[in-house]
Amino acid sequence: MDKDNYYLEQLKEGNQKVLDEIYLRYKNEFINFGKKYSQDEETLLDVFQDCMIVLYENVRSSKLTTLNSSLKTYLFSVGKYKLYRFNQESQKKNVEWSIEHQEETTHQLFEEEINVERMKLINKAFEQLGKKCRQLLKLFYYRGFDLEEIKNEMNLENKNTVKSQKSRCLSHLRKLTINS
Instruction: Report all structural domains of the chain as residue ranges with CATH numbers, in order of start.
Output: 3-128 (no CATH), 130-180 (1.10.10)
Q: Write out the H or E segment, with its range, that includes residue 64.
A: none
Three-class DSSP category at 18: helix
| pLDDT for the residue numbered 97 | 45
C-alpha closest to that of 112 among 86, 90, 87, 79 = 79
d(CA 62, CA 169): 34
d(CA 142, CA 137): 8
Report the pLDDT averaged over residues 104-113: 65
Q: Residue 121: how many CA atoms within 13 Å on its side-chain side?
A: 14
- pTM of the shown model: 0.51
d(CA 68, CA 146): 24
Backbone phi, then psi, for 31, in 5-degree steps? -60, -45
d(CA 73, CA 62): 19
pLDDT digits (tens, 9 = 90+) for 9-53: 998 998 899 999 999 999 999 999 888 887 788 988 999 999 899
| pLDDT for the residue numbered 22 | 93
Backbone phi, then psi, for 96, in 5-degree steps? -70, -15
| pLDDT for the residue numbered 3 | 86
b/e string for 24-44 if b means 16 or more Cβ within 10 A? eebbeebbebbeebbeeeebb
pLDDT digits (tens, 9 = 90+) for 128-178: 989 999 898 888 877 888 989 999 999 998 989 988 898 898 889 888 888
- Rounded to 10 deg, the angle between the 3-12 and 41-60 helix axes is 70
